[in-house]
Amino acid sequence: MTNARSRHLVSGAMIGLTYLAAALATLPLLFILFHLLVKGASSISLAFFTHMPRPVGEPGGGMANAIVGTLILIGIASAIGLPIGIGAGLHLAEKKTTPLAHTARFLADVLNGLPSIVMGIFAWEVLVRPIGHFSALAGGVALGAMMIPLVTRTTEEMLLVVPTSLREAALALGYPKWRTSISVVLRTALAGIVTGALVAVARIAGETAPLLFTALGNQFWSTSFREPIAALPLQIFTYATNAYDELHRLAWAGALVLISIVLVISLAARFVTRSRFGAPVD
């Protein structure tokens, strides 16, 4: 009797603890969102998106260059990270046991855990130093290199859950192997792969460290790949470490915009996973 009772008590306490942990896990994000809204929302206006930064002391001004710069950096990074990552993931899933697959899988895991500042140093060494100046391209390459392992591993995982029976169905119909991989396996896993890609984009959108000595940041309007370019995280960093209240407010607003971009991408990822044509084969 007492045994059963203490068992129930322990069970209840443990379940209660998991509730508490789950609630605590949501707290930081809610707190950040709340804080950003309070501090940043008042500074967000149309001008914030369309105007250039003004010199200190002049009121107003926006972050148009940083917003566009971040989008350009995401574009360069995706152009590098997505094709390589998805291609590598396809290789890992379809040729599981080749020596290359084993090596690539291990290195992708290592790369995933690499501090992002190291990626920045790498891009600096490879692209900034030889060329002689900072550039959007160097920043994009640093971010793209960060995306590769993320996209590779999620692509591989998504492909591995495609049932063997579908693969066999296509092959038994006389599909060549490469076409089976692309039009059946890859297509079936597409929703998952797109989600993985969007999550990777969201991850790198907010990275600051790899940009510090690659894209550098820019007070002026620039869309050139060869010039230093502004980026939201960099601008936030610069403004937040500045002494002027005006700039602090803009930094808060920039942070709010950045987190909104990430949030929208994450929501898009959710939407893609849900609204697919076929439910998973049970």
Partner 1 sequence: MTAVAPVAAPAATDTVGTIEARDFSFWYGKKQALKSISMKVPPRSVTALIGPSGCGKSTFLRSINRLNDLIPGVRQEGDLCLDGNSVYDPSLDVVALRQRVGMVFQRWNPFPKSIYENVAYGPRINGIADEASVDEIVERSLRRAAIWEEVKDRLRSSALGLSGGQQQRVCIARALANQPEVLLLDEPASALDPSSTQRIEELVYELKKELTIIIVTHNLQQAARASEYTAFFFTGELVEFGQTEQMFTSPQEERTEAYITGRFG
Q: How far is the CB of 179 from partner 1 (least distance, A)?
A: 7
Which chain residues interact with partner 1 by CB under 8 A?
Answer: 97, 163, 165-166, 168-176, 179, 184, 188, 276-281
**Token pair of 34, please?**
């709340």
Shorter beta-carbon distance to partner 1: residue 8 or 96: 96
Q: Which is nearer to partner 1, 99 or 113 (CB)?
A: 99
Query: What is the signed CA dihedral for 67, 68, 70, 71, rounded to 10 degrees?
Result: 120
**Closest CB to partner 1 among residues 50, 98:** 98
- What is the closest distance, in whole angstroms, from the C-beta atom of residue 163 to partner 1 in the complex? 7
Tell me which residue has tokens 């991850």.
203
The residue (of 94 and 156) whose beta carbon lies closer to partner 1 is: 94
Q: In Å, how far are 84, 96, 269 from 184, measured between CA atoms? A: 20, 18, 21
Nearer to partner 1, 46 or 172 (CB): 172
| Cα torsion angle, 65, 68, 74, 77, sign | negative
- Buried b / exposed e across 43-64, counting CB within 10 Å, b at 16+? bbeeebeeeebeeeeeeebbbb
For residue 246, how many other CB atoms are within 10 A of its CB? 17
Contact 204, 215 (CB under 8 A): no
The minimum distance between CB 169 and partner 1, in angstroms, equals: 5
Phi, psi of 259 (to 5 degrees): -70, -30
The string of DSSP codes covering 166-181 is: HHHHHHHTT--HHHII
In angstroms, what is the minimal distance from the CB of 279 to partner 1?
6
Cβ neighbours of residue 112 under 8 Å, at least 6 residues apart? 149, 150, 153
Q: How far is the CB of 269 from partner 1 (least distance, A)?
A: 19
User: d(Cα 204, Cα 207) in Å, to the nearest integer?
Assistant: 5
The residues with which 216 forms a beta bridge, in sequence order, are 229
Q: CB count, 10 Å around CB of 134?
A: 23
Specify the residue, 125 or 168, whose C-beta has the smaller distance to partner 1: 168
Given the complex with partner 1, which of 96 and 270 has the nearer CB atom?
A: 96
Instruction: Tell me how far, at minimum, the Cβ of 219 lies from partner 1, in Å.
Output: 51
Shortest Cβ distance from residue 248 to partner 1 (Å)?
A: 51
In the complex with partner 1, the residue whose CB is nearer, 35 or 179, is: 179
Give the residue carrying structure tokens 């460290």: 209
Report the nearest approach of partner 1 to the CB of residue 165 (Å).
Answer: 4
